[in-house]
Amino acid sequence: MPQLLVLTLISFLQTISYAQQNILMTKEEVVYHKIIKNKPAIDKTYAIKLATVIVSKASKHNINASKYTAILAQESGYKLDAVNHKSGDWGLSQINYRTAKAFNFDVKRLLVDMEYSVEAGLIVLADFKKRYGHKEEDYWSRYNSSNKEKRTIYKKLVVGYM
């Protein structure tokens, strides 16, 4: 009897859509699959660790982990040591020099400490959510700019990673 149950469950899972299967995955698995989809060549062990950190820290700051995963894809392509010398942005979450100074983030640590870099971006997003979330559903687009036109472009780029 248990074998029949297992075969029935396998048959059922094969018939439901991928989106429906996501319901059966943990948040970490969903985020991991998004990371792999967005950057197929990424080291799988690194992606597992990153997914775990994103889900843990996003939950702590009450930010949607899947959306933040898309933001990180746009910002750094999931590269911990990403530096944009032109704009002065550092780490996974591409914290710029003004934001680093305002929140007293350690710029060097943003480039080497995955948890710190992920959480720094979430602290910024949580601040935007607190200030603008009650009146703007897309408060998260402020992560890139306060300029409305630039935010519109940014939203389209991030949505492409969702």
- CATH code (residue 67): 1.10.530
**Range of the structural domain that residue 138 is part of:** 2-159
- pTM, two decimals, is 0.82
**Count of domains in the chain?**
1
* pLDDT tens-digit series, residues 13-25: 555 555 455 555 7
Secondary structure of the chain in HEC code, one letter for each residue: CHHHHHHHHHHHHHHCCHHHHHCCCCHHHHHHHHHHHHCCCCCHHHHHHHHHHHHHHHHHCCCCHHHHHHHHHHHHCCCCCCEECCCCEECCCCEEHHHHHHHCCCHHHHCCCHHHHHHHHHHHHHHHHHHHCCCCCCHHHHHCCCCHHHHHHHHHHHHCCC
* pLDDT tens-digit series, residues 14-69: 555 554 555 557 888 999 999 999 999 999 999 999 999 999 999 999 999 999 99
